[in-house]
C-alpha cells in the first residue's frame, strides 16, 4: 500500500512572508488522516535556510500502528525541503508517548519544553531573609529589554536557529506577550534585591486581558552571573507565584531550553511539570 499526501486546500501566505498548507494523508487514494505544514519567511527554494513546522499530524484510529504516521512525517519533511527549509520543528504533548517515540525514531531531538504549575489558593510564599522584590524603574526597562533580547537570541543561535529568524522570533514572541512593554495590562516586571543590592530580574504576564483562561506566563527570569548558585532563581520564582496569586491567576506556565539542566531541575523541584516537548531536526 502507498501512503501519500494530497493538498487539502490552497497554500496560505503568512503576514511575515511565510507559508502554510493543509494536506490529506491517503493510502492508495483513501483518506486516513490529516497534516498541516508551515514554514518561515526564508523558505523560498531548495537549499534555503527556512524553518518548517509540522503544526498537526493525525491518523484515523483504524489506520494507526501501521506506519502511516511515519510515512506521512517523512513526506512532510520532503515538502518542507522543497519549500527551502533547513530545519523542522514539532511540538508534542508530553503525554503523547507514541508521537514522542515516532519523533525520536525519525531523528528529532528535544530543544525545549513547556512546563506548568497549578496555583491553588494558598498563603504567599515567604521570601528569604534579606530578600525583597520591587518593580522596574523607568530607567531599568530599556537596558534590561536589550540584554534580555540578546540573551534569548544567543540561546536560539546555539540551538541552530539562523540569526535573522532568531531575532524575528524573539521580537515577535515578546511583542505578543508584552505588546506595550512595561505598561502592558497584566504585566509584572520586577527586580530581586538581596541585602540591599539588585541580584536578578523577572518578567511575567500575570493574565491575558483577551482570554482569562490563558495561564500566567514567565517571559524571563535571570540572576546576575555574580550572584548565581545562591538560591536567587528560586526566590524569583516564588515571587512570581505570589504575584500570580495576588491577581487570581490559578496556573503559571513557562518554556525552558531542555539543555538548561539547572533551570529544569529548579522548576521541577518547585512542582512544575512538563506539558509540551518542542523537538527539532536538521533537514539534510
Average pLDDT over residues 160-173: 87
Model confidence at 168, in pLDDT bands (50, 70, 90)? confident
pLDDT for the residue numbered 211 = 83
Pairing between β-strand 50-59 and β-strand 30-39 as defined by DSSP bridges: antiparallel
Listed in sequence order, the DSSP H helices in 107-251 are 138-158, 163-177, 232-246
Set out the domains of the chain in order of their start, with CATH numbers: 3-107 (3.40.630.30), 117-276 (3.40.630.30)
- For residue 100, CA distances in Å to 90, 104, 110 come to 10, 6, 10
pLDDT for the residue numbered 45 = 44
What is the percentage of the chain residues whose pLDDT exceeds 90?
Answer: 76
Per-residue pLDDT tens over the stretch 2-47: 889 999 999 998 877 789 999 999 999 999 999 999 998 754 444 5
Question: What would the grid cell of residue 198 be?
Answer: 539588585
Per-residue pLDDT tens over the stretch 75-87: 999 999 999 999 9
Residue 249's φ and ψ, nearest 5 degrees, are -70, 135
CA angle, 231 then 232 then 237, to 5°: 105
pLDDT for the residue numbered 42 = 57
**The whole model's pTM is what?**
0.90
| End-to-end CA gap in the chain | 27
Average pLDDT over residues 130-157: 93
Model confidence at 48, in pLDDT bands (50, 70, 90)? low
Cα dihedral sign for 102, 105, 106, 111?
positive
Average pLDDT over residues 53-74: 93
What does the alpha-carbon distance between residue 56 and residue 34 come to, in Å, rounded to a whole number?
8
Residue partners of 15: CB distance under 8 A and separation at least 6: none
Residue partners of 255: CB distance under 8 A and separation at least 6: 112, 113, 114, 115, 278
Model confidence at 182, in pLDDT bands (50, 70, 90)? confident
Listed in sequence order, the DSSP H helices in the chain are 68-82, 97-105, 138-158, 163-177, 232-246, 261-269
pLDDT for the residue numbered 1 = 67
**pLDDT(194) > 90:** yes
Per-residue pLDDT tens over the stretch 108-124: 999 999 999 999 988 99
What is the pLDDT of the chain when averaged over all its residues? 92
Per-residue pLDDT tens over the stretch 199-236: 999 999 998 888 888 899 999 999 999 999 999 999 99
pLDDT for the residue numbered 44 = 47
Amino acid at each position: 500500500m502507498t501512503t501519500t499526501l494530497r493538498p487539502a486546500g490552497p497554500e496560505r501566505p503568512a503576514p511575515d512572508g511565510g507559508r502554510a498548507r493543509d494536506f490529506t494523508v491517503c493510502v492508495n487514494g483513501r483518506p486516513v488522516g490529516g497534516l498541516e505544514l508551515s514554514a518561515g519567511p526564508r523558505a523560498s527554494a531548495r537549499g534555503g535556510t527556512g524553518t518548517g513546522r509540522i503544526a498537526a499530524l493525525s491518523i484515523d484510529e483504524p489506520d494507526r500502528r501501521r506506519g502511516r504516521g511515519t510515512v506521512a512525517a517523512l513526506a512532510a519533511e520532503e515538502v518542507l525541503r522543497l519549500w527551502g527549509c533547513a530545519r523542522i520543528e514539532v511540538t508534542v504533548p508530553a503525554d503523547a508517548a507514541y508521537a514522542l517515540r515516532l519523533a525520536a525514531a525519525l531523528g528529532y531531538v528535544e530543544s525545549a519544553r513547556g512546563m506548568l504549575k497549578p496555583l491553588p489558593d494558598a498563603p504567599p510564599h515567604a521570601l528569604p531573609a534579606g530578600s525583597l522584590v520591587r518593580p522596574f524603574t523607568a530607567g531599568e526597562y530599556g537596558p534590561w529589554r536589550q540584554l534580555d533580547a540578546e540573551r534569548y537570541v544567543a540561546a536560539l543561535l546555539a540551538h541552530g536557529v539562523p540569526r535573522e529568524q532568531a531575532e524575528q522570533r524573539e521580537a515577535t514572541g515578546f511583542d505578543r506577550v508584552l505588546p506595550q512593554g512595561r505598561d502592558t495590562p497584566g504585566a509584572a516586571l520586577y527586580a530581586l534585591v538581596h541585602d540591599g543590592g539588585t541580584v536578578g530580574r523577572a518578567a511575567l504576564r500575570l493574565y491575558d486581558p483577551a482570554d482569562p483562561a490563558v495561564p500566567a506566563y514567565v517571559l524571563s527570569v535571570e540572576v546576575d552571573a555574580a550572584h548565581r548558585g545562591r538560591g536567587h532563581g528560586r526566590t524569583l520564582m516564588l515571587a512570581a507565584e505570589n504575584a500570580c496569586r495576588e491577581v487570581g491567576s490559578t496556573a503559571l506556565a513557562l518554556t525552558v531550553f531542555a539543555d538548561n539542566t539547572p533551570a529544569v531541575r529548579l522548576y521541577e523541584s518547585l512542582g512544575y511539570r512538563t506539558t509540551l516537548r518542542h523537538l527539532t531536526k536538521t533537514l539534510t
